[in-house]
Each structure stands twice: as C-alpha cells, then as structure tokens.
C-alpha cells in the first residue's frame, strides 16, 4: 500500500523541477557555500529539488546527431555570473580531457549533445557539494501551512506521497508540449501516441514510428507542423531517414511541412540584436512603464526566437529541396528514374481546422485526416497523414495550475475559476523596486499603477516554435485569435528578483512567511531571455542573493 510521508524538516529552498534553470540556481548556491565556508552564518542550508524524471536529462527528444546550440558555450550555468566557478563549461571540458580538442574545433558553439552532457555532469557535481535532488518524484500541489510557510506535496513513481515544508519555493518545471487544439484529444489518446509525436519526444519515438509504418507495406505520408527551429530540424531528419527507406511498390513516400506563414524565416542573431539578451536588458524591460510597451518590445525582437530557423539550417533545407527539384527535372527530361525514395514539400499559409482518426480498429494502417484552411484565401482542403510531428513549442502555465488549485490563491488575489484553458494566462506586472515591498514581502499600497497594467493586455508568445492553429472560421471571415480575448483580472505581481508577491492588506490575517519565485515564466516582465539559456546564470545569482539576504536578516 502506498505510503504517505510527511517530512518533518523545514527546507530553506524547495525547487520544483531540476532542469537548467534550477540547476543554475543550485550552482549559484554551491558557489555561495564555498565563499562562506569559513563563516558560521550559512543563511541557506537545507535544499532539495524535486524532479519527475528518473535522472537529469535536457531535451532528449531533440538530441539530433550533429545539431548545434544557438549560443556560445560561455552562456553556460555560471560563467556570466562567476567565471571562476568550478562548474563552467570549460571546467567540464578540462575534467573530460577534451579542452584542447574543443579549442581545435575553431568554434565557440558546442553541439547540443555535448551541452546536454555538460548539464548532466554539473547536476552530479552540485549533488557532491551538498544539494539534494529527489528524482522520480513530481510536485502535485502546494498550500499554505498554519505557520505561514509553504507545504509542498509530491508523488513518487511507486505511489508514495511526500510532504515537505518550504521557506522558499522555486518553481521552474519548464514547459509542457504545445499541440494545435484540433490535435489535442488525439494526441492524448494512448492508442494514437505512436503516430502523433511532439518534438519533445521525437528521438525516443521516431524509430518505433518507422517500424509501425513499415508493417503495412505501403508508402509513408508524414506531416510536420510548425515553422520554427525544432520543426525544421525534424523535417530534415525525416528527409534523411526517408532517403534510406525503400519505396513500396514503386510509390514514393511523402513528407510535408505545414506552416501558417508564407515561408520559413531566418532567426536574427546579429551582433546588435543579440544585445537584447544581455543581462542589463532585463532591467530595461522590467522598468518600462506599461505592459503594452513591454509587449511592443517583445514583438520587435520576436524574430530572434519565435517561429524562425537558424540560417545554417535554412540553407541546408533549401539545398535539399533544390536537389529534389534538380532530380525531378532531370528525370522528366530524360525519362530516367531518379531513384528518389520520397518527395518533400513545404505547404504555406495553412491553419489546422480539424483532425479525425481514419481506419480506427480496422486492422489497416491508421491515419489522421486534417482539414486545412488557407490563412489568406480561406479556402478549405483535406489531407490524410500516416503520422504527424508537432514542432509547435511549449505551454508555460504549470505554475498557474499549482497556484490556482491551492489555498494560496487568495493570498495572491487569484480566483481559480478565472483561469480557463481557452483564455490567455493573466498578466504578470512588475513591482518597480524593493522600496515598494514591505519587510514581509508584500506589496505596499499604491506601489504600482495597476490600471495602466490591466489595460495593456500584452500577448506574449508561449512557445519557442510558433505554428499554432486558430479556431475554425468560415471561408471569407477573419480568423479569431485567442489573444483577442480579454485577460482575466486581477493581474499578478512579480519583483525584479523573480519573487511572486502576495496581495494582502494588513487586516486580512497573518502574514505569508513563505516565498515563491518563478524561473522561466516571466517573459512579459523580464524579457525574451526568460525562457532561454542566455541569462540563467545571472538570474540564478539574483534569486539566491534575494533569498540569502532575507535569510541573513532572519538569523541576525
């Protein structure tokens, strides 16, 4: 029978999730411990991170052979915060006896596989330095304890329920796969999980997919949905795999890429544009006067990250399509077979309107029939695929679900019923400076102009690959976008140091002594770097400094 364990220990920090952001925070903490080893006053001692995976892993679904990072190795877990830390990427290379070989590569950009291995190495190093990590355990709920701290309930894989108490809760559980609405019910079906795949699970799933499709002894027809980097990389990988997959009965396989815009567009990583990812730009974005102004800035730099493809990947993809045109042209002119096993094409200006499973339970190969709508002409068309790969990014609202389902919701002015899946998440608004916060961590009256913020209704993208579907529309009528709906009110306040602030008056009972921090969810207040690796080292240091300073005040 599953156990229900209440951990009697109070933790200075409980981390929800143990991906790069919370790993960077653990690294910042161990560096702080090393600096304080000769001091009797260690403000933060007991720390645990709760991670649902059985071990550390970073984007295992996209560790494609040869795929490179988009950033320099110096934007690792620690370098921008503390270049002398023992947890730098260079320290990792030295420990693995590959430093000189990496230098000889002549590039500061590591492969994705190597960076993933660096992160795994660092996850083991912080444990050696005293950080606890509870793997195979998922946070299921949070609540306010009688003492005003935060109770954290988690569930182990064996069904054991664990309850801990936190002075500081750091929520950084990453994103959940974002799937176009018409495909969601099919995607969530166990029977269909093999033929609708999100890029987050692509590498562990694609071999099994090809085995499943091959059993029917007929040509494959695969659709890739999305216009960003992940979709483009998967499209190329499928092209390479199909190049070695024999055609059936002389008929070629088909590979389509469905995008909402007119063409694939390059990401802008030029020198001046890249300054938007500098840590000081976080201050600039945070200090802007209204949410509308911040949303305008995010839109201006959207082409650095959303719905765009690295120029090198674009060039490779264009060459592949051009080679196909060449071979088709030669074959048409000469009548000779070009020995191609498949045909690939990009289908622009398409929105997915509906999806239906075909041949369910018939013993024949199952498929998915899509109804597409041209976003320009509003014409409808139908196409059936044997499998669909969704490169459509991630939703980042798990922290809201935790908050709205807890007794903490009212502390933050949140009505759980106001959060609906079909509405955008409520706006986060910045609380300008520490002078606006009282000693208990609550917003002082009149510290921010709430009405200016509530009227802004910024629409911040929630995925790293934009290719979402709009609700069904009739031909000739404009599409209705989800961001056109008004935001629920009230909004939520966050400090420059990423603390989510309760909104309570003095006469509403006892103070909330526990603190909640967000990592990876505050793009609309802190800027485009929030969901990226660019500033995780600096951000982690800021969060640890904030917690450490508060804890130091408590023990004086």
Q: Packing angle between helix 20-35 and helix 112-128, nearest 10 degrees?
A: 40
CATH of the domain at 206: 3.50.50.60
The string of DSSP codes covering 374-426 is ETTT--EEEEEESEEEE---EE--HHHHHHHTSTTGGGGT--GGG--TTSPPP
- Express each pLDDT in 521-538 by its tens digit: 999 999 999 999 999 999
| Residue 71: inside a domain | yes
The three-state DSSP-derived secondary structure of 58-92 is CCHHHCCCCCECCCCCCCCCCCCCCCCCCCCHHHH
Per-residue confidence band for 453, with pLDDT thresholds at 50, 70 and 90: very low
Which residues span the domain enclosing 354? Answer: 181-265+307-390
User: Do 478 and 458 reside in the same domain of the chain?
Assistant: yes
Asked if residue 354 and residue 496 are part of one domain, the reply reads no
Same domain, 31 and 164: yes
Question: Is the distance from CB of 138 to CB of 152 less than 8 angstroms?
Answer: no
Quote the longest CA-to-CA distance of the chain: 87
Quick one: average pLDDT of 322-328?
A: 95
Sign of the CA dihedral running 286, 289, 291, 296: negative
Does residue 128 fall inside a structural domain? yes
Per-residue model confidence as pLDDT tens digits over 421-448:
555 567 889 986 443 443 344 444 333 3
Burial of 335 (0-12, 13-18, 19+ CB in 10 A): exposed
Instruction: State percent of the chain over pLDDT 90.
Output: 67
Question: Does residue 536 form part of some domain?
Answer: yes
Q: Checking DSSP bridges between strand 168-171 and strand 367-374, what pairing results, if any?
A: unpaired
What is the average per-residue pLDDT within 317-335? 94
Q: Report the mean per-residue pLDDT for the chain.
A: 85
Q: Are residues 386 and 244 part of one domain?
A: yes
So what's the pLDDT on residue 188? 86
Whether residues 165 and 235 share a domain: the answer is no
Residues 389, 125: Cα–Cα separation, whole Å: 36
pLDDT for 201-230, tens place per residue?
999 999 999 998 988 888 999 999 999 999
For the chain, the domain total comes to 2
HEC profile of 144-209: ECCCCCEEEEEEECCCCEEEEEECEEEECCCCEECCCHHHHHHHCCHHHCCCEEEHHHHHHHHHHH
432 and 515 housed in the same domain: yes
* pLDDT band, residue 490 (cuts 50/70/90): low
- Are 330 and 252 found together in one domain? yes
* Residue partners of 556: CB distance under 8 A and separation at least 6: none
Does residue 347 fall inside a structural domain?
yes
Report yes or no on 272 lying in a domain. Answer: no
Question: 157: exposed, middle or buried (C-beta count within 10 Å: 0-12, 13-18, 19+)?
Answer: exposed
- The pLDDT of 326-348, averaged and rounded, is 92
Residue 270 lies in a domain: no
> Do 145 and 18 sit in the same domain of this protein?
yes
Sorted by sequence, the CB contacts under 8 Å of residue 484 that are 6+ apart come out as none
Q: Is residue 276 part of a domain?
A: no
Select the highest-mean-pLDDT range: 116-130, 138-152, 438-452: 116-130
- The DSSP 8-state label assigned to residue 234 in this structure reads H
CA separation for the pair 528, 533 (Å, rounded):
10
Same domain membership, residue 193 and residue 339: yes
Q: Do 217 and 153 share a domain, yes or no? A: no
**Which of 34-48, 298-312, 352-366, 477-491: highest mean pLDDT?**
298-312
Q: Can you give the pLDDT at residue 504?
A: 66
**By the 8 A CB rule, do 144 and 492 touch?**
no
Q: How many C-alpha atoms does 63 have within 13 Å on its Cβ side?
A: 12
Whether the CB-CB separation of 22 and 177 falls below 8 Å is answered with no
Final residue in a domain of this structure, among 341, 372, 390: 390
447 & 536 share domain: yes
Last residue of a domain, one of 390, 423, 450: 390
Closest to 533 in 3D by CA, of 227, 55, 16, 78: 78
Look at residue 104 and tell me whether its pLDDT is greater than 60: yes
What mean pLDDT do residues 10-21 have?
A: 97
Residues 337 and 188 in one domain: yes
Q: Choose one of 334, 356, 390: the last residue of a domain.
A: 390
Average pLDDT over residues 1-30: 89
Given this model, what pLDDT does residue 339 score?
Answer: 83
Q: What phi and psi, each to the nearest 5 degrees, are found at residue 154? A: -135, 165
Is residue 215 domain-resident?
A: yes
Task: Report the C-alpha gap between 212 and 233 in whole angstroms.
Answer: 22
């Amino acid at each position: 029978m599953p156990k229900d364990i209440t951990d009697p220990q109070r933790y200075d920090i409980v981390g929800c999730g143990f991906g790069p952001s919370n790993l960077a925070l653990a690294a910042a903490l161990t560096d702080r411990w090393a600096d304080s080893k000769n001091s009797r006053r260690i403000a933060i001692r007991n720390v645990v991170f709760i991670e649902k995976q059985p071990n550390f892993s970073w984007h295992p679904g996209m560790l494609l052979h040869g795929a490179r990072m988009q950033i320099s190795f110096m934007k690792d877990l620690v370098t921008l915060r503390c270049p002398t830390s023992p947890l730098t990427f260079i320290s990792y290379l030295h420990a693995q006896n590959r430093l000189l070989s990496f230098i000889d590569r002549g590039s500061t950009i590591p492969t994705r596989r190597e960076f993933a291995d660096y992160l795994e190495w660092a996850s083991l190093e912080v444990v050696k330095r005293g950080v606890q990590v509870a793997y195979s355990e998922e946070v299921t709920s949070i609540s306010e304890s009688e003492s005003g701290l935060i109770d954290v309930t988690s569930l182990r894989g064996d069904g054991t329920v664990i309850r801990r108490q936190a002075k500081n809760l750091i929520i950084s559980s990453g994103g959940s796969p974002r799937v176009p609405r018409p495909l969601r019910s099919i995607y969530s079906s166990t029977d269909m999980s093999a033929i609708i795949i999100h890029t987050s699970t692509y590498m562990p799933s694609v071999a099994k997919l090809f085995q499943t499709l091959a059993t029917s002894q007929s040509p494959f027809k695969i659709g890739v949905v999305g216009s960003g980097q992940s979709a483009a990389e998967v499209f190329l990988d499928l092209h390479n795999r199909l190049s070695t997959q024999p055609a059936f009965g002389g008929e070629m396989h088909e590979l389509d890429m469905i995008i909402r815009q007119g063409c694939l567009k390059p990401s802008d990583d030029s020198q001046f544009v890249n300054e938007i990812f500098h840590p000081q730009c976080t201050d600039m974005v945070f200090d802007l006067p209204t949410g509308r102004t911040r949303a305008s800035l995010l839109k201006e730099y959207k082409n650095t990250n959303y719905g765009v493809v690295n120029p090198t990947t674009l060039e490779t993809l264009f060459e592949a399509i051009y080679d196909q045109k060449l071979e088709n042209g030669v074959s048409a002119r000469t009548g000779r077979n070009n020995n191609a096993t498949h045909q690939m094409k990009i289908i622009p200006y398409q929105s997915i309107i509906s999806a239906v499973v075909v041949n369910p339970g018939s013993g024949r190969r199952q498929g998915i029939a899509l109804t597409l709508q041209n976003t320009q002409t509003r014409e409808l068309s139908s196409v059936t695929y044997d499998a669909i790969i969704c490169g459509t990014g991630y939703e980042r609202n798990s922290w809201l679900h935790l908050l709205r389902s807890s007794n903490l919701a009212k502390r933050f002015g949140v009505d759980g019923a106001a959060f609906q899946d079909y509405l955008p998440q409520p706006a986060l608004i910045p609380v300008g400076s520490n002078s606006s916060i009282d000693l208990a961590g609550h917003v002082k009256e009149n510290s921010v102009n709430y009405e200016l913020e509530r009227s802004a209704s910024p629409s911040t993208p929630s995925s790293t690959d934009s290719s979402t579907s709009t609700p069904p529309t009739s031909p000739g009528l404009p599409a209705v976008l989800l961001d056109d709906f008004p935001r629920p009110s009230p909004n939520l306040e966050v400090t420059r140091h990423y603390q989510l602030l309760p909104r309570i008056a003095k006469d509403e009972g006892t103070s909330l002594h526990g603190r909640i921090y967000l990592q990876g969810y505050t793009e609309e207040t802190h800027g485009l770097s929030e969901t990226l690796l660019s500033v995780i080292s600096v951000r982690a240091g800021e969060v640890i400094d904030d917690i450490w300073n508060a804890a130091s005040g408590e023990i004086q």
